[in-house]
């Protein structure tokens, strides 16, 4: 590989199987003067495999702001690598703030794409992913989980989220209750020795994955789910929007998002008068 230009390189790492690391990713990591990762203990396995000499720096939610200057300093004169614990960086980790800071400082940012648990899970699920929405990790509280799921399902076709094995069964049970037991796929330990992909109704999977172990990605088909709505609330909201001078189309779009109805339903509920 030719000499690399100075900059911050966002490098995807394997989500389980180390053989998935690309040649380009290995070359960038070998050329790096500094490698940042959320958990340097996880990075340690990759460092040993490649014989990396560059120092590793942890970049967590609690220290990212204080450590960005060191990362950018390395990127201004040489190669600085930003990796994920597993998969593609900036998905459910604090690296986005470092990349934003690099752009603001005029530091060049490069990407070395590769493994992604999200893309892998979508491929395995077999659902139409043209309108997929990623939720990251769901809220810990059951009531907040239910609200988040219902609000997002109202405007999305497929939901994806990461979940810890300790909370997986509870989250699947919440899916069953909140979204009328939708078709669901659980991808566990992707690309690892005990990889498992199971498809079924959320309630069935909640029972199956009680007390499970390993990293989990969940894909949910919510295309057939329709939220219950109180049409009087929609009409009252649109009436207030009209009185405030709002236009019909954008007001209907906002009502659809807020109350979980279709835009056509909201558009049709636009009051002809202010009475």
Residue extents of the structural domains in the chain: 7-115, 118-221, 231-268
Tokens in use for 184? 């669901």
Range 192-219 average pLDDT: 96
Q: Can you tell me the distance from the alpha carbon of 33 to that of 144, in angstroms, rounded to the nearest whole number?
A: 43
Average pLDDT, the chain: 91
Q: Which residues pair with 161 in a beta bridge?
A: 218
pLDDT value of residue 273: 67
Residue 126 pLDDT greater than 80, yes or no = yes
Range 215-226 average pLDDT: 93
Range 70-82 average pLDDT: 97
Range 205-224 average pLDDT: 95
Range 170-190 average pLDDT: 95
pLDDT value of residue 67: 95
pLDDT value of residue 93: 81
For residue 2, name the pLDDT band (cuts at 50, 70, 90).
low
| Residue position matching structure tokens 């690391």 | 21
- In this predicted model, which residue has the larger pLDDT, 127 or 143? 127
Helix (H/G/I), strand (E/B), else coil: 111: strand
Q: What is the pLDDT of residues 22-41, one digit of tens each?
A: 999 999 999 999 999 988 88
Report helix angle 168-178 to 142-153, nearest 10. 50
Instruction: Answer whether 83's CB lies under 8 Å from 13's CB.
Output: yes
Q: Can you tell me the distance from the alpha carbon of 167 to that of 189, in angstroms, rounded to the nearest whole number?
A: 16
Q: Can you tell me the distance from the alpha carbon of 152 to that of 129, in angstroms, rounded to the nearest whole number?
A: 15
pLDDT value of residue 43: 86
Three-state secondary structure along 49-118? Answer: HHCCCCCEEECCCCCHHHHHHHHHHHHHHCEEEEECCCECCCCCCCHHHHHHHHHHCCCCEEEECCCCHH
- DSSP letter at 129? G
For residue 12, name the pLDDT band (cuts at 50, 70, 90).
very high
**Do the domains at 7-115 and 118-221 have one common CATH topology?**
no
In sequence order, the 6+-apart residues with CB closer than 8 A to the CB of 262 are 256
- Dihedral in degrees, nearest 10, Cα atoms 149, 155, 159, 163: -30
Residue 44 pLDDT greater than 90, yes or no = no
CATH of domain 7-115: 3.40.1010.10
For residue 234, name the pLDDT band (cuts at 50, 70, 90).
confident
Residue 275 pLDDT greater than 80, yes or no = no
Range 104-128 average pLDDT: 96
- In this predicted model, which residue has the larger pLDDT, 184 or 261? 184
Instruction: Answer whether 218's CB lies under 8 Å from 183's CB.
Output: no
Q: Can you tell me the distance from the alpha carbon of 117 to that of 132, in angstroms, rounded to the nearest whole number?
A: 14
pLDDT value of residue 143: 84
Q: Which residues pair with 163 in a beta bridge?
A: 216
For residue 99, name the pLDDT band (cuts at 50, 70, 90).
very high
Range 232-256 average pLDDT: 87
Range 228-245 average pLDDT: 81
Range 79-91 average pLDDT: 92
Instruction: Answer whether 198's CB lies under 8 Å from 124's CB.
Output: no
Closest CA to 52 of 27, 86, 21: 27
Query: Which range (6-15, 44-53, 111-120, 224-233) has the least confidence?
Result: 224-233
Range 79-90 average pLDDT: 92
- In this predicted model, which residue has the larger pLDDT, 79 or 93? 79
Q: Can you tell me the distance from the alpha carbon of 234 to that of 171, in angstroms, rounded to the nearest whole number?
A: 29
Closest CA to 220 of 184, 196, 167, 178: 184
Q: Can you tell me the distance from the alpha carbon of 45 to that of 35, in angstroms, rounded to the nearest whole number?
A: 13
CATH topology of domain 118-221: 3.30.950
């Amino acid at each position: 590989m030719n000499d690399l230009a100075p900059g911050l390189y966002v490098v995807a790492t394997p989500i389980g199987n180390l053989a998935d690391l690309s040649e380009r990713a290995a070359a960038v990591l070998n050329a790096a003067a500094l490698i940042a990762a959320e958990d340097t203990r996880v990075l340690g396995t990759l460092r040993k495999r490649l014989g990396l000499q560059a120092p590793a720096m942890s970049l967590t939610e609690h220290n990212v702001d204080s450590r960005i200057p060191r990362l950018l300093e390395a990127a201004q004169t040489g190669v600085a690598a930003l990796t994920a614990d597993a998969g593609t960086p900036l998905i459910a980790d604090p690296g986005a703030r470092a990349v934003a800071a690099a752009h603001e400082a005029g530091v060049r940012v490069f990407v070395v794409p590769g493994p992604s648990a999200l893309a892998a899970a979508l491929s395995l699920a077999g659902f139409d992913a043209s309108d997929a929405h990623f939720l990251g990790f769901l809220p810990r509280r059951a009531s907040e989980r239910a609200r988040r799921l219902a609000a997002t399902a109202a405007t999305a076709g497929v939901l994806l989220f990461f979940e810890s094995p300790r909370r997986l069964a509870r989250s699947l049970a919440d899916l069953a209750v909140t979204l009328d037991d939708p078709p669901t796929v659980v991808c566990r330990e992707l690309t690892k020795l005990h990889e498992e992909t199971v498809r079924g109704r959320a309630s069935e999977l909640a029972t199956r994955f009680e007390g499970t172990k390993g990293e989990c990605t969940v894909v949910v088909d919510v295309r057939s789910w329709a939220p219950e709505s109180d049409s009087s609330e929609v009409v009252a909201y649109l009436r207030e929007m009209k009185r405030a001078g709002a236009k019909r189309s954008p007001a209907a779009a906002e009502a659809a998002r807020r109350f979980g109805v279709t835009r056509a339903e909201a558009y049709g509920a636009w009051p002809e008068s202010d009475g």
